[in-house]
Chains A and B, each alone.
Chain A
Amino acid sequence: MVETESLRNTSGSGFKVTSGAIVCIADNSTDMERFAGDVTIGTGSVLHPRVYISANGGHVDIGEGNIIEEQVRINNRLSDKGTMVIGNNNVFEVGCIIEAKAIGDNNVFESKCYVGPEVTIGNGVTVGAKCNLTAPDTIQDLSVIYGENCDQRLANDKPTSQASQREFLSRILPNYHKLFKPNKPILETAALNSM
């Protein structure tokens, strides 16, 4: 934990992955373009291949224990060039686009949803598949956004824990994918892989 913190503080250039995070990289050179700018990924987070994270507008700080699935785009487009902070234990399902101001803990972003740059997400929020959040808003804790009209309701409990899924992925993914070695710049690793 201490190590993570220190790494986050020193993050100021390039792509930083704390030990314990699993970042899959696809086996081609264009893959490096997927991580642009200053990105920090916390312990225990799992990034599937083909995840696009762009920190050109400012830092992107991803916390611990997140699952980020294929084709997810996380894009810092904040107007004040501030840091986009993503909390812990969130799940980003296939194809969602996240440009949120801040994201708390234990949220689920279902497939193909979109969270715009003026939105702040609390804790335990579920954004349903193909739901678009574009208006400036703060989504309160335990909200569920679902359906084609983006209906909102409050759940009683936070979404079920993804710990077992994360454990499964961290066991399976290294068997079939090339992984990004923590604490090394991505360019170097890609070069090693291609050798």
Chain B
Amino acid sequence: MTGAAEATAPHGPGTGDAPPVLALAGVSKSFGAVRALRDVSLELHAGEAHALAGENGAGKSTLVKTLSGVHRPDSGQVLMDGRPVEFHKPADAQRHGVAVIYQEPTMFPDLSVAENIFIGRQPRASLGRIDRGAMRARAAELFARLGVALDPEQPARGLSIADQQLVEIAKALSRDARVLIMDEPTAALSVNEVARLFTVVKALREQGCAVLFISHRLDEIFELCQRVTTLRDGAWIAGEAVAGLTHEALIRRMVGRDLDTLYPKLDAATGEVALKVHRLTREGVFTDVSFEVRRGEIVALAGLVGAGRSEVARAVFGVDRWDAGWVEVNGRRLPPASPTAAMSAGVALVPEDRRQQGLVMDQSIERNIGLTGLKRLRRGPVISRAAERDRARDWAIRLQLKFNRLSDAVNVLSGGNQQKVVLAKWLSTRPQVLIIDEPTRGIDVGTKAEVHRVLSELASDGMAVLMISSELPEVLGMADRVLVMQEGRLVAEIPRAEATEESVMTAAAGRTS
């Protein structure tokens, strides 16, 4: 790839002297008390692919949103061709030739591919009518330029995610985009689809497009990009040429921090097997997944976004159907696709997205906590408000929930406290197996430590915990064993003693060497 980098440099108007097409200079951005970006600089040059590396929560998405006009920086500047610009909304960035391809594009499923590309800017014939022939021809021309065989007339409904991304790239081309920002485009793609995407992006790069590429798969960064900028906890760590960099060096830049203080997992005696999953398969989602979780154990399920971790959790809990295999809780098989059966067998699932799946946002704390145990709160045919309040108060105290009144709606609480309410809601069912998906996503460091303390105590009390987490330090600090998933398969099981950033990352990114 080094050769390609040198070869493409002359295509751009002199990477050395011409100002970068798009740049950030000393940009900071805070959301409340959280400093998402601190004094970050970045330069995107024509004809160059630039990688953005960093863990989840490092500030990559905030950076993308600053470049694409969704966020405005608190301080620092966005520069185009060396001149400061202000993007007030995404349309401003689009007008300046900045296009963003998201992991899952938003399309109009009922309209044709050609119309999805040209909506609002259709080629016109006389009297302002749409020139359908020209629209079709121009879409076909764009696809020919990208070297992909898509039919402009087919409806967008039914396109694979990979094809949807190609349509988005065609749309960017039709707007004469000079900067292409790709936010984890490969997370949901198969190997062949990634190869096709890369062919397209390399061609665009050689035509003088500046590319900003985000991916958790290091191989992809090394294959596609000439430069890489690394962020950690919102701060700029390094900006350097990819040539000469090793995987290990890049991982060190991304993670290097002190782990021991934050994640105390108490040692607990492990008991008998509480959850046993045997060769579980859901067609096209995950394949042949087998593992056990013992009492007193915290097992982490690690892997990249889109590796199928949450899907396994959903299937175990019975939200989704599985096609083959079985699940046992305390030696008893669970019937497929029945959350009710899973709950009465003692399984609880704390979902990833608490706003959508975990909480009824505009109902009170006590109502939310009571929701999972309405039967137990019944006095005769009616729900006892007093019992509901008592139960909520018990858990609020145990989890050190910060609140005014138990009758407050949960949407006034902070993210961390909301997460505690979700926990209370499920813990009050006295589960024996707790499946928890991204337990600390989007909550502050202090509350994070408390959530970890709670999980550790629960395990000490003999609960079996299966934790899905994308934050490596959390996985390494909390887990007795780490299971790694990659593209729907379980590819590694790493005991606590051998689990390091490198070993987990390597397994998750699927590097064979």
Do these two chains really belong together in a complex? no
Taking beta carbons and an 8 Å cutoff, which residues of B are in contact with A?
none
